Chains A and B, each alone.
Chain A
Amino acid sequence: MSVVLAGLTTGLPHPLLTPDANPGYRRLRDAFAEARDVIRASGAERLVLYSTYWPSVIGHQAITDPNPRWTHVDELFHDLGSISYDRPVDAALAEAVVDAAKRRGLSARGVNYHGFPMDTGSVTALELLDPDCEWPAVVLSSNVYADRAETLVWAKATRDAIAASSRPTAVFAISSLSNRLFTTFIRPEDDAIHSPKDDEWNRKILQFLSEGRLEDTAQLSRTIQQQIRVKKVVNFKALWWLSAVAGPHNRYHGTVHAYAPVQGTGAAVVTLRPREEGLGDKEFDEDDVEVWRGDREVLS
């Protein structure tokens, strides 16, 4: 078993750049520190991130620059400040993920260019989970057109590469829960989940995850997309990827370290440790796709 820990975190920069502007931002920041302790305790030697904040169009991308460095500014929250990063990347694992993805029928490529714009979600999560660069990371994109089948294959390719090296690995999906922002400027102290409905759904998701029911939650992804997601991409994919790479079952010890609003969205930090017992497998009614056989032309 090479995946020793799974997790889900927000990627919005407020807990990193303005942690004391709102008590919720501070709770999230502290939660990242708790998750760091969980990573240490898991024995993980590296991190793999799937970021919904990094859209790709030409298949799937992985950062293969062994040491990306830049001063990043978020395109929306630029007034919160700049984020200078200098990160170690497990380029060999990233290349292995790309190769495994190609073997499974996906279009995939590594990106190794100075100045490549690592996304806000990945930068934020890495800086908060691992401020001292204890672990090399792999950062993976989220294809804008991919739906469940393609996302599962991308995750399984990631799992192939992790398993081939047999090194303990922590995998994280970087995504908000509900993603509806307030579309007017708000004071940080007035931050709140955009609607009671979004809040109720977020809490239901977190209840499932706290019970270790990762695959159950992943199976709800289409419903979650319909209920609490702005339709910027075709679906809510983070939990599909996370469950497929960590193991599509409900046998986890789940911990919700924090849940708070960020500009109206549902932001959380969750870790899931594999365990023997759990709620068992439910009636999963969707394909467990192994190989990507191409675009099904569902879009015009």
Chain B
Amino acid sequence: MTMNPGRIVAGALAPHPPHLVYAENPPQNEPRAECGWEMLRWGYERLRADIERARPDVLVVFSPHWQTYVGTHFLGLPRFQGLSVDPIFPNLFRYTYDLKVDVELAEAIAAAAGATGHPVKMMRNPDFRVDYGTIISCHMARPTWDLPIVAVSSCRSAAYYSVEVMQDQALALGRATAEAIGRTGRRAALLASCSLSHRHFVVEGDLPEDMSREHVTSHHNYLWDMRMIDLLRRGRLEEVLATMPEFVNQAVSEADSGALSWLIGALGHDIAGEVYAYGTVIGTGNAVVGFFPPEAA
């Protein structure tokens, strides 16, 4: 029997502020919230529905909070269970997780990336605690956790070299991701787990979900967020890439992780994004944006 070639059925900019899971009050998360960040959460609801319609069989998530300065790492065991406590916002996120990994696809992506000369490693320590960025983006995109995931780390090349080097590596990793998905016959949904502008307020109110305090840290960052969102919604992804170095440096963007460049590299061509929501979380700019490559005729 011949396996159907796999494809990317959905891609998303899927930011991971723990505040979103906190405000959702899922049973996995210990803290309880009264409300908060509804625009982003309702945007995620719509993204969720569209991802469901695309019928993926795996989520592939690139997280800035799994920071591996030596190469790109992939979860390499079939199941991880544990408690994730956010080191920055432990008051908001103490989440009991139980997730499945598509190890075969993870190994295929690692092999394809490794073939380009990029350092890669499979993470096979059973005591490993999965990072909260991975968990949050996956939870918000698919709270039922009924699909296996592939978790991809960020090798932080922007800090070590430059945004340009980071982007070259992330684009190559994206292409390797697409190639491996095609070769393994998966229908994959890709999640780029990052904010846009990423300057936080450094104080937090007694009630974190007090939305009267929530706004972007600066007009400057707002302008940058809008510029990037406009490019994404018009499908000008090549221009997003060209703008990336300036955006990262000007807006302290979390796209410095490579997540957004990786997603664009995997999508492989200009495609218009559906903007489900924009909102700020403790001052950072966050957009939920979906990309749905058309099925081949």
Asked whether any CB of chain B lies closer than 8 Å to the CB of A164, the reply is no
Q: How far is the CA of A140 from the CA of B119 in the complex (A)?
A: 33
- Closest-by-CB residue of B relative to A184 is B119
Of the candidates A59, A117, A183, the one whose C-beta lies within 8 Å of that of B69 is A183
- Closest-by-CB residue of B relative to A112 is B90
Whether A76 contacts B200 in the complex (CB less than 8 A), given A58-B89, A185-B121, A230-B160, comes out as no
Q: How far is the CA of A226 from the CA of B202 in the complex (A)?
A: 25
Of the candidates A71, A79, A82, the one whose C-beta lies within 8 Å of that of B121 is A79
A contact residues around B84 at 8 Å (CB): 115
Q: How far is the CA of A107 from the CA of B119 in the complex (A)?
A: 40
Q: Is the CB of B160 within 8 A of A263?
A: no
B contact residues around A293 at 8 Å (CB): none
Q: How far is the CA of A54 from the CA of B90 in the complex (A)?
A: 13
Chain B interface size band reads: 35 or more
B contact residues around A300 at 8 Å (CB): 199, 218, 220-221, 250-252
A contact residues around B69 at 8 Å (CB): 76, 181, 183
Asked whether any CB of chain A lies closer than 8 Å to the CB of B226, the reply is no
Q: Is the CB of B202 within 8 A of A75?
A: no
- Closest-by-CB residue of B relative to A109 is B91
Of the candidates B71, B131, B203, the one whose C-beta lies within 8 Å of that of A75 is B131
Asked whether any CB of chain B lies closer than 8 Å to the CB of A56, the reply is yes
Instruction: Tell me how far the C-beta of B162 lies from the nearest C-beta in chain A, rounded to whole angstroms.
Output: 11
**Residue from B124, B131, B153, B202 having most chain A Cβ neighbours under 10 A:** B202
Asked whether any CB of chain B lies closer than 8 Å to the CB of A145, the reply is yes
Q: How far is the CA of A119 from the CA of B155 in the complex (A)?
A: 18
Asked whether any CB of chain B lies closer than 8 Å to the CB of A180, the reply is yes
B contact residues around A40 at 8 Å (CB): none
Instruction: Tell me how far the C-beta of A115 lies from the nearest C-beta in chain B, rounded to whole angstroms.
Output: 4
Q: Is the CB of B202 within 8 A of A58?
A: yes
Whether A116 contacts B220 in the complex (CB less than 8 A), given A59-B203, A185-B119, comes out as no
Q: Is the CB of B123 within 8 A of A183?
A: no
Q: How far is the CA of A287 from the CA of B155 in the complex (A)?
A: 37
Q: How far is the CA of A59 from the CA of B91 in the complex (A)?
A: 14
Asked whether any CB of chain B lies closer than 8 Å to the CB of A187, the reply is no
Q: Is the CB of B125 within 8 A of A79?
A: yes
B contact residues around A185 at 8 Å (CB): 70-71, 119, 121
A contact residues around B121 at 8 Å (CB): 79, 185
Q: Is the CB of B83 within 8 A of A107?
A: no
B contact residues around A181 at 8 Å (CB): 69-70, 160
- Closest-by-CB residue of A relative to B165 is A183
**Residue from B83, B157, B218, B251 having most chain A Cβ neighbours under 10 A:** B83
Whether A183 contacts B71 in the complex (CB less than 8 A), given A59-B202, A73-B128, A113-B90, comes out as yes
Asked whether any CB of chain B lies closer than 8 Å to the CB of A231, the reply is yes
Instruction: Tell me how far the C-beta of B91 lies from the nearest C-beta in chain A, rounded to whole angstroms.
Output: 8
Q: Is the CB of B68 within 8 A of A116?
A: no
Of the candidates B67, B125, B160, B218, the one whose C-beta lies within 8 Å of that of A73 is B125
Q: How far is the CA of A200 from the CA of B71 in the complex (A)?
A: 27
Q: Is the CB of A111 within 8 A of B90?
A: yes
A window 139-179: CB within 8 A of B: 143, 145
Instruction: Tell me how far the C-beta of A187 lies from the nearest C-beta in chain B, rounded to whole angstroms.
Output: 13
Of the candidates B66, B129, B160, B252, the one whose C-beta lies within 8 Å of that of A117 is B129
What does the 1/0 interface line of A52-91 toward B look like (CB < 8 Å)? 0011111100000000000111011011011000000000
- Closest-by-CB residue of A relative to B86 is A117
A contact residues around B41 at 8 Å (CB): none
B window 118-147: CB within 8 A of A: 119, 121, 123-125, 127-129, 131
Q: How far is the CA of A295 from the CA of B155 in the complex (A)?
A: 30
B window 159-204: CB within 8 A of A: 159-160, 199-200, 202-204
Q: Is the CB of B85 within 8 A of A54?
A: no
Q: Is the CB of A73 within 8 A of B70?
A: no
Q: How far is the CA of A115 from the CA of B129 in the complex (A)?
A: 10
A contact residues around B294 at 8 Å (CB): none
A contact residues around B123 at 8 Å (CB): 78-79
B contact residues around A71 at 8 Å (CB): 127
- Closest-by-CB residue of A relative to B251 is A300
- A interface residue numbers (CB < 8 A to B): 54-59, 71-73, 75-76, 78-79, 81-82, 107, 111, 113-117, 119, 143, 145, 180-185, 230-232, 263, 295, 299-300
Q: A181-B69, A232-B156 are in contact. List 13 more A-B contacts (CB 8 A).
A: A55-B88, A58-B202, A75-B153, A76-B69, A76-B70, A79-B123, A79-B125, A111-B90, A115-B85, A180-B160, A184-B71, A232-B159, A299-B252
Name 15 interchain pairs, CB-CB below 8 A, sorted by A.
A57-B202, A71-B127, A75-B153, A79-B121, A82-B127, A115-B83, A183-B71, A183-B157, A184-B70, A184-B71, A185-B70, A185-B71, A185-B121, A300-B250, A300-B251
